[in-house]
Amino acid sequence: MIKRLKRFAEWLVRTQIWSSIFRQGWPDTERNRILTTINTLVFHLHPIKVKSHGIKVKYTFCLGGISFFLFIVETITGVLLMFYYRPTVEYAYQDMKDLEFAVTFGLFLRNMHRWAAHGMVLTVIIHMCRVFYTGSYKPPREYNWCVGVSLLVLTLLLSFTGYLLPWDQLAYWAVTVGTNMAKATPVLGAEGPFHVLSEMTDICFYLRGSVDISENTLLRFYVLHCIALPLAAVGLMGIHFWRVRKDGGISGPL
Amino acid sequence: MTKIGIPHMETDNKNKPITDIQEGYPRRRFLLIVGWASFLFFSLLAGLLTMVDFFKPKVLFGPSNKFKAGYPDEYPAGKVSTRWMKDKGVWIVRTDRGIYAFLAICRHLGCIVGWVEEERLFKCPCHGSNYNLEGDVVGGPAPKPLFRLGVSFAMDGQLVIDKSVKEDRVGIREKGQYFLPV
C-alpha cells in the first residue's frame, strides 16, 4: 500500500500537468525546497530559510500571523455576506435581518465576521506593542514600522466603515458621532480652527456624501469597506511581509 | 508455522523491534486510514452541502405569482385582452365558452411575445415565432406551444391568475384549472 502510494507520487510529479504547474518535484531535497519557495507566488514572500529562533513562539507570539489569518477570515466571510446584502436605505437593515434569520448559517457568518473584526483590532494593537517592547522598530526596520502603522489605521477604518452597514440605530448614531468629529479638522472642517469651508464643502461633507448620514453615506462606506480599504490593506501587507524578510528576517532574541 | 495475529510475537520478527505503527499492526494502520479518510470525507461533504444550501435563496423579492385580474364581464368574448401585458406579462383570452390565460414568454428563447390583432397571431419580435389563438406554433423556431396559466375565481368574483401554474400539453391545457367556463 505505502509502496504503491510512493510509486504513484513519483509518477505524479513526472506528468506534464504537475510539472507545468509546479516545475519541481516534491520538496524533499534541499534544492527542491528552495525551488518550491521561489517558484510559488505566495511562498516567495517567505524567506527560503528561517532562523531557528523564528519558531520560538514566546518571542513574537505569532501576533502578525494571527492578524493576517483574521484578515483572511474577514475576506471569506465578508464576500459570503455580500451575496445577501444590498447597501440601500430600503434593503440594508432588512437584508441584515434576513441574514440572521433566513440564510443558512447566516447568523454564524455575521457573528464570525464581527468577532474576527474585533479580534483583528486587538491582535494588530498587541502586535504593535510586541514590536515596540522587543525594539523591533529600530533601524533597519523603521520603514516597516511606518507601513505597520498605516496597516493599523486601515484596520481601524475597516472597522469604522463596517459599523454603518447594518443600518440600525447603533450604526446610524455611531457614524453620526464619528463623522461629526471630522468637522473639527483644522482648516478642512466647517467647525474646526481656522475654518474656511462651509458645511456643504468641508471634509465631513465629502466623507458622508451629504450633510446628514444618508444613502450616499451608506454606499460610500460600503465601497470603502468592501473594495478600497481591503485592496489598500492587501497591497501594504505585501510590502510589510516582504520587508520583514528584506530587513533581516523575523526579529528574534539577541 | 501458523501465523499469529500480533506480528511482534512471530518468530521471524523476534529480533526486530517495532518502531512505528506502519511496520507492524496492519489492522491498526488500516483502521487509522479508514477512520481519518471517512472523517475527512464527511466533513468535506457537510461543508459542501452547507455551501450549496447557503447559496440557495431563502427569500425571493419581487411581485407575487398570483394576481387578481378583475371581473369576467370586463373581458368581451372573442377578444384577446392585453390589459395585463405590461405589468404581468399575461394575456387573458375569452372565447364564447370561457376564459383562459397565456404567459407572454416565447418558448424559443424567452422574449416577450406581442399580440397582433390584424393577423390574430401572437408574434415574437426576437426570432419571428408565431402562435395562434390556441397557443400552438404556426411559424418560426419555437419548439413548443405557449404556456397556459391557472385561472380561478376569488371570493369576490374576480379572476385570479396564478403564474406559477403552467401547462402546454394538448388535452390537459384546455380544462381543469387552466380553463374557466363562463
- B61-70: pLDDT as tens digits: 888 899 999 9
Show residues of chain A in contact with B55, CB under 8 Å.
Answer: 83
Q: How many CB atoms lie within 10 A of CB B127?
A: 12
Inspect the interface and report whether the beta carbons of A104 and B22 lie closer than 8 Å.
no
Euclidean distance between CA atoms A63 and A43, whole angstroms? 19
Mean pLDDT over each residue of chain B, to the nearest integer: 87
Inspect the interface and report whether the beta carbons of A2 and B54 lie closer than 8 Å.
no
- B74-105: pLDDT as tens digits: 999 888 998 999 899 999 999 988 999 999 99
CA-based end-to-end distance of chain B:
95
B positions 104-133 inside 8 Å of A (CB): none
B positions 57-76 inside 8 Å of A (CB): 58-59
Q: Which one, of A165, A159, A151, lies nearest residue A232 by Cα?
A: A151
Euclidean distance between CA atoms B106 and B144, whole angstroms? 9
pLDDT computed for residue A46 by the predictor: 82
A33 near A22, Cβ under 8 Å?
Answer: no
pLDDT computed for residue B1 by the predictor: 47
CATH number at B66-181: 2.102.10.10
User: What are the extents of the domains in chain B?
Assistant: 7-55, 66-181
- A155-202: pLDDT as tens digits: 999 999 999 999 999 999 999 999 999 999 999 999 999 999 999 999
CA closest to A109 among chain B residues: B54
- Domains of chain A in start order, with CATH, are 58-241 (1.20.810.10)
Q: How many CB atoms lie within 10 A of CB B99?
A: 20
Inspect the interface and report whether the beta carbons of B54 and A102 lie closer than 8 Å.
no
Inspect the interface and report whether the beta carbons of B55 and A83 lie closer than 8 Å.
yes
Q: Which amino acid is at B51?
A: M
Give the pLDDT mean for A102-117.
Answer: 96
Q: Is B4 or A144 the better-scoring residue by pLDDT?
A: A144
Of A2, A80, A102, the CB nearest to B58: A102
Any A CB within 8 A of B49 CB: no
- A58-93: pLDDT as tens digits: 999 999 999 999 999 999 999 999 999 999 999 999
Q: CB burial class (10 A; 0-12, 13-18, 19+) of residue B178?
A: buried
DSSP designation for A181 = G
Q: Coil, strand, or helix at residue B84?
A: coil
- B136-169: pLDDT as tens digits: 999 999 999 999 999 999 999 999 999 999 999 9
Any B CB within 8 A of A215 CB: no
Give the pLDDT mean for A1-25.
Answer: 88
- B18-28: pLDDT as tens digits: 555 555 678 88
Contacts of B105 (CB under 8 A, 6+ apart): B89, B111, B112, B113, B146, B147
Euclidean distance between CA atoms B77 and B117, whole angstroms? 14
Show residues of chain A in contact with B22, CB under 8 Å.
Answer: 2
Could you give the angle at the alpha carbon of A216 between the alpha carbons of A210 and A217, nearest 5°?
80
Give pTM, 2 decimals: 0.81
pLDDT computed for residue A23 by the predictor: 84
Inspect the interface and report whether the beta carbons of A105 and B50 lie closer than 8 Å.
yes
Q: Which one, of B180, B113, B115, lies nearest residue B149 by Cα?
A: B180
Any A CB within 8 A of B50 CB: yes
Contacts of B153 (CB under 8 A, 6+ apart): B159, B160, B180
Pairs of CB atoms within 8 A across A/B? 17
